[in-house]
Structure 1
Amino acid sequence: MARRRKSLPADPVPAHIESLSHDGRGVARLDGKAVFIDGALPGEDVDFIYTGRHRNYDEGRIEQIRQASPDRIRPRCSAAGVCGGCSLQHLAPEAQILAKQGVLQENLRRIGGVTPETLLAPLTGPVWGYRHKARLGVKYVRKTGELLVGFREKRKPYVARIDNCEVLHPDAALSPE
C-alpha cells in the first residue's frame, strides 16, 4: 500500500533564523524540528512557505522578511535568487567569510573530532571576478532556438538564464563580448 503524501501548508509561517547551514540556507527550529529556509540569514525574523517536509527536517523559502539581518545586502547579480552558482550573494562579504569559517570549524569538530587551539585570520581575495573554475550546464531550447550556458537553477535541473556571472573571472565570461 502506497503511503499517502501530506500536503504542504499554503499559508506563510513565521520563524526566527538561528544559524546558517553549510549550503547557505537559514536554519530555524519549529516544534524542535530543523527547517532549512532558502534566502534567510541568521538573526532574521521571516515568514516562509514550506517547500518540502521530511522525517528529520523541513525545507522552505522566504515569503517575507519581517526583521532583516544587519549583514543582509542587495545581491549584485540579478539572477542570484534563481541561479544555483551563488547561494550567499545576499550576505555581506565579510560575514560570508565568517560563516564559511564557522562551517569549517563545525565540520572539524563534528566529523574530525578536533578543535583547533588557535585560528589564523581567514585568507581573502577579490569579492567579484575571482572564480577560475566552474561547472556549467548547457541546454539547447528547441522552442526558442536558444542555447543556454550557465549554472543550474537552485535545486532544479534547468539552466538559469544569465547573461554574465559576477563571480566568474572575466576571462571565463559567459557573454561573447
Structure 2
Amino acid sequence: MEKNERYIATATGYSEDGAGVTRINGIVIFVPGLLNGEEAEIGITKMKKNYGYGRIIKILKPSIHRIDPICSVYKQCGGCQLQHMDSNEQNTFKENKVKDCFHKIAGMNVEIQPIIKVEPYWNYRNKVQIPVQCNDNKVEMGFYAPHSNHI
C-alpha cells in the first residue's frame, strides 16, 4: 500500500481523535471525517509500517449521523473535528472514549451514565486555549490546523 493509492473502505469505529478507522488488507487506515459505518473512496496520504492515514475522496454510503459542519473553517481548523457528526453520534463517541480510557489505562470495565444533552448543541464551550504567534510584526491567533503547528 502506497501514498496516493485509492481504495473503497468502510469505517468500523473511531480513533481517539474522532477519525474513522478502516482496514484495508488487514492494515488499519485512519480517515479524518469518516463516520462509523460510512463507505467511501479514500486516498492514502501517509503510510507507516503497520498503519496509515487516508483522506475522503468521495463518500459512497453516508451515515445517517452526518451533518454539514456549521463552522466556515471546519476543514482547515483542528478545533472542532467532530462537527460533521450529529449530537447523538458525538455523545456516543464521547461516552465510548471515556469507557476506553478506563479500560485501557486502569483495566476497568465501567458503566458510563448517558451524557446529558445541551440545547442548543453548539456554542457551549466554557474553556478554550488559543495559541498566539507573531509573524512579520503581525499577531496571529486561532486554533492549529490538524496535525500541524500552523494557526
Pairwise same-fold verdict (TM > 0.5): yes
In the TM superposition, what is the alpha-carbon distance from 1:31 to its structure 2 partner? 1.4
Q: What is the 5 A alignment of 1:20-99?
A: 20-99=14-93
Q: Distance in 1 between matches of 2:5 and 2:147?
A: 22
Question: Residue by residue, what CA displacement relative to the aligned partner does 1:57-114 show, whole Å, maximum 9, x if unpaired?
Answer: 1111111111101000000001111100011000001210111101211222232221
SS at match of 1:111: helix
Q: Distance in 1 between matches of 2:134 and 2:11?
A: 39
Q: Distance in 2 between matches of 1:69 and 1:31?
A: 23
Question: Residue by residue, what CA displacement relative to the aligned partner does 1:139-160 show, whole Å, maximum 9, x if unpaired?
Answer: 3443xx753210010112111x
Q: In terms of Rg, which structure is larger?
A: 1
SS at match of 2:29: strand
Q: Distance in 2 between matches of 1:113 and 1:86?
A: 30
Question: 1:112: which partner in 2?
Answer: 106
**Contact in 1 for aligned 2:95/2:114 (Cα 8 Å):** no
**Higher deviation after alignment, 129-138 or 52-61:** 129-138
Uncovered stretches (5+) of structure 2, i.e. residues with no partner: none
Question: 1:173: which partner in 2?
Answer: none
Tell whether 2:138 aligns with 1:158: no
Letter in 1 for 2:143: F
For residue 118 of structure 2, the aligned residue among 112, 117, 125 is 125
Q: What is the 5 A alignment of 1:9-20?
A: 9-20=3-14
In the TM superposition, what is the alpha-carbon distance from 1:12 to its structure 2 partner? 2.4
Identity in percent: 29
Q: Distance in 1 between matches of 2:134 and 2:149?
A: 13
Q: With the length of structure 1 as denominator, give the TM-score of the two structures.
A: 0.77
Q: With the length of structure 2 as denominator, give the TM-score of the two structures.
A: 0.89
CA RMSD of aligned residues (A): 1.8
**Contact in 1 for aligned 2:43/2:56 (Cα 8 Å):** yes
Q: Distance in 2 between matches of 1:72 and 1:153?
A: 22
Q: Distance in 1 between matches of 2:107 and 2:56?
A: 34
Uncovered stretches (5+) of structure 1, i.e. residues with no partner: 1-6, 160-177
Letter in 1 for 2:89: A
In the TM superposition, what is the alpha-carbon distance from 1:24 to its structure 2 partner? 0.6
